[in-house]
Structures are given as structure tokens and as C-alpha cells.
């Protein structure tokens, strides 16, 4: 019995071969040209470079489920700012996210029942993407590890029309 899954690795390798034939990125610096870091959801519907009008080499793109500002995102941003000179952070969450309205307690309980181990990490489920962006902005503003906090902006990307909607800086953010 098959579940309809077809491994894509051979296609990816063929795609890489075509990419490498026309590759012109040798010598590109590791530091992003726009001194920008973007934190976004891993959702496959988000073409982060495309929706922000960016090209390869212009920004660090940090992605995870929900685009949530976790300890690992703070770690990545800390390195991005302190070692590679980024000065601006843009958050991109979106409508219709899989974490939106997910019953986190139930999911973690089912995972524990199946594996015998309860994860040490939270899922960071949320009810409203705008509120979640505001919370992520608060986390960035209060982190002692990020020296550059003057240019943090947050957005919700609408998967129905492709538009970004800005979330105002929370009142309690410095």
C-alpha cells in the first residue's frame, strides 16, 4: 500500500545541478547586504524573498513553525546582529497558520502518549496572528542579547491576497 508520497530528492538534485550551472554567487559575503534579518513562518505558501521584494544575499531568513520568537530565534538573531552586522528585524506571520487555534495541550499529550516522552519545548499555539506578532515583538524588545532594537517591525501576511498588514509596536515595548 502506498500513501501517494514520492520522494523529491532526485528532483531537488536535478534542480541543484541546473542552479550550479548558472551559479554566480561565488564571493558573496556572509553578511546580508541590507543588514536585515527576517523571522517568518515555515509555511510553504510563504515565498519570503518574493513577498518582501528581496534577492539572495540581502537578508538572513530565519524560519520556524509560526515564525515564533523562541530561544533559538534569539540565538540566531544574536549571531546575525553581533557577528554579521544586521540592524533591522522584520517579523512575518500569516493568516491561516497551522498553529492558529491548535489545542497545544492536547497535541503535546497525544505526542507524549505515543512516544512516552513529553517535549521540553512549547508549540507556541495562538488564537490571533496579530497578537502573536505583538508578543514576538515584545520578546525581541526585552531580550538582553540583542543590541539592535530600534528597527523591529512586525507584519501579518494574508495568504488570500498576498498583502502584508503591519502590527503596531506594543505599548509596553521599549
Segment 138-154, tens digit of pLDDT: 999 999 999 999 999 99
Task: Tell me the CATH number at 54.
Answer: 3.40.1050.10
Distance between CA atoms of residues 169 and 174, nearest Å: 9
Name 167's Cβ contacts closer than 8 Å, sequence gap at least 6: 91, 130, 133, 134, 137, 154, 155, 156
Q: Kindly state the cell numbers that stand for 2.
A: 502506498
Residue 6: per-residue pLDDT? 78
Provide the domain limits for residue 101.
32-167
Contacts of residues 162-170 at CB distance under 8 Å and 24 or more positions apart, as own/partner, are 162/51, 164/51, 164/92, 165/130, 167/91, 167/130, 167/133, 167/134, 167/137, 168/134, 169/137, 170/134, 170/135, 170/137, 170/138, 170/141
All cell numbers assigned to 27: 564571493
3 lies in a domain? no
Asked if residue 156 is part of any domain, the answer here is yes
The confidence score (pLDDT) of residue 1 equals 47
Which pLDDT value is given to residue 173?
Answer: 57
Per the domain annotation, does 119 fall within a domain?
yes
Residue that is written with C-alpha cell 528532483 in the block = 11
Is residue 25 a part of any domain in this protein? no
Residue 174 has pLDDT above 70, yes or no: no
Q: Nine-digit cell at 55?
A: 534577492
Beta strands in 11-144 (DSSP E): 36-41, 59-64, 88-94
- pLDDT tens, 70-122? 999 999 999 999 999 999 999 999 999 999 989 999 999 999 999 999 999 99
The pLDDT, as a whole number, for residue 101 is 87
Q: What is the pLDDT of residues 3-18, one digit of tens each?
A: 778 779 999 999 999 9
Question: Which triple of cell numbers denotes residue 26?
Answer: 561565488
Q: Is residue 132 part of a domain?
A: yes
Return the ∠ at Cα 155 (arms to 152 and 159), rounded to 5°.
Answer: 155
Residue 58 lies in a domain: yes
Asked if residue 14 is part of any domain, the answer here is no
Structural domains in the chain (count): 1
Rounded distance between C-alpha atoms, residue 139 and residue 137, angstroms: 5
Query: Does 57 reside within a domain?
Result: yes
Amino acid at each position: 500500500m502506498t500513501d501517494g508520497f514520492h520522494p523529491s530528492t532526485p528532483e531537488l538534485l536535478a534542480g541543484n545541478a541546473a542552479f550550479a550551472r548558472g551559479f554566480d554567487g561565488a564571493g558573496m559575503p556572509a553578511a546580508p547586504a541590507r543588514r536585515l534579518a527576517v523571522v517568518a513562518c515555515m509555511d510553504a505558501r510563504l515565498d519570503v524573498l518574493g513577498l518582501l521584494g528581496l534577492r539572495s544575499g540581502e537578508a538572513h531568513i530565519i524560519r520556524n513553525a509560526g515564525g515564533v520568537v523562541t530561544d533559538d530565534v534569539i540565538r540566531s538573531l544574536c549571531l546575525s546582529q553581533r557577528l554579521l552586522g544586521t540592524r533591522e528585524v522584520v517579523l512575518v506571520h500569516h493568516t491561516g497558520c497551522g498553529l492558529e487555534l491548535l489545542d497545544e495541550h492536547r497535541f503535546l499529550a497525544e505526542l507524549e502518549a505515543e512516544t512516552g516522552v513529553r517535549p521540553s519545548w512549547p508549540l507556541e499555539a495562538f488564537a490571533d496572528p496579530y497578537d502573536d506578532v505583538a508578543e514576538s515583538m515584545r520578546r525581541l524588545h526585552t531580550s538582553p542579547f540583542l543590541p539592535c532594537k530600534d528597527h523591529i517591525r512586525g507584519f501579518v501576511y494574508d495568504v488570500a491576497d498576498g498583502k502584508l498588514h503591519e502590527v503596531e509596536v506594543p505599548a509596553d515595548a521599549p
